[in-house]
Amino acid sequence: MDNILSWITVNQQIIYIVILMIFVGIEVIGRVPSVLHTPLMSGANAIHGVVIIGAIIVMGKAESDNYLALVLGFIAVIVGTLNVVGGFVVTDRMLEMFKKKKK
């Protein structure tokens, strides 16, 4: 019990962020008209590509003789970039079409 309580105290900042972000995520999406669902899903998909930062950290601190970290980190950077770049470009293409007919 003490363990759990002290864990909460130590990590309270993160716990606050998680809880507040859950509400923000729900609020933000709650007003989306259903016609924008696909672009929104695609945009959210691009945003979770932020996981690439983890991949960069893994790659950047891999020792030069740790082949597992080097190889897996390298693949992780590639697939993470795919997620980010592909996600944003696809979303932009979808939204481009929405914009055109706005005139």
C-beta closer to another protein: residue 5 or 60: 60
In the complex, what is the shortest distance from the CB of residue 95 to another protein, in angstroms, rounded to a whole number? 4
The verdict on 16 binding another protein (CB under 8 A) reads: no
Nearest to 80 by CA among 41, 44, 54: 54
| Binding residues for another protein restricted to 21-40, rule: CB under 8 A | 21-26, 28-40
| Binding residues for another protein restricted to 39-98, rule: CB under 8 A | 39-62, 64, 68-70, 72-98
Tokens matching residue 2: 């003490």
